[in-house]
Amino acid sequence: MDVISLINNNKITYQDGEYIYFLLDGEEVVYVGKTIKPFPPIPNHRDKIFTDVSILPIDSFDFEGTADVLLIDLLIKLLPKYNTTLPTNERYMTKGIIKKRFDVNGYELNRLIKKNGAKTIFHDFYDIKDIFLYE
């Protein structure tokens, strides 16, 4: 075996930037994360069961927006089982955050959710545009 050829054929160019990484169990995406290094922080995920890792620079995606917005979009689309929350943002919120942010009580919030047919889009997160429709 030619070790130098093996090394050169499998090298990764080290370049800081913004990356989205995926932990997979077979074909299923079980976790999605964001990093600024070309190597995902695998030791942080010892509590998860996965078989493979994929990492892509954010410019690999046909997406206009920040890495945080891309991450949120991917989480909502893929619904990975080990991601249980969304990064802080201005659009998707839990009832608790909505109550504090918009100074609305639980009764009124539940009334708006029911009236406007809002559904959770990721675990217990709602799209606030679905709750606060203009009448």
Domain ranges of the chain: 16-78, 92-131
Segment 27-72, tens digit of pLDDT: 999 999 999 887 778 888 989 999 999 988 898 898 888 999 999 9
Residue 15: alpha-carbon gap to chain centroid: 22
Closest CA to 23 of 3, 41, 11: 41
Angle between helices 106-116 and 95-102 (to 10 degrees): 110
Q: Count Cβ atoms below 10 Å from residue 15 Cβ, excluding itself.
A: 9
Give the model's pLDDT for residue 129: 95
Q: What are phi and psi of 33, to 5 degrees?
A: -140, 175
Give the model's pLDDT for residue 8: 78
Give the model's pLDDT for residue 38: 74
Q: What is the pTM of this model?
A: 0.84
Segment 85-118, tens digit of pLDDT: 999 999 999 999 999 999 999 999 999 999 999 9
Q: Provide the token pair at 46.
A: 């010892």
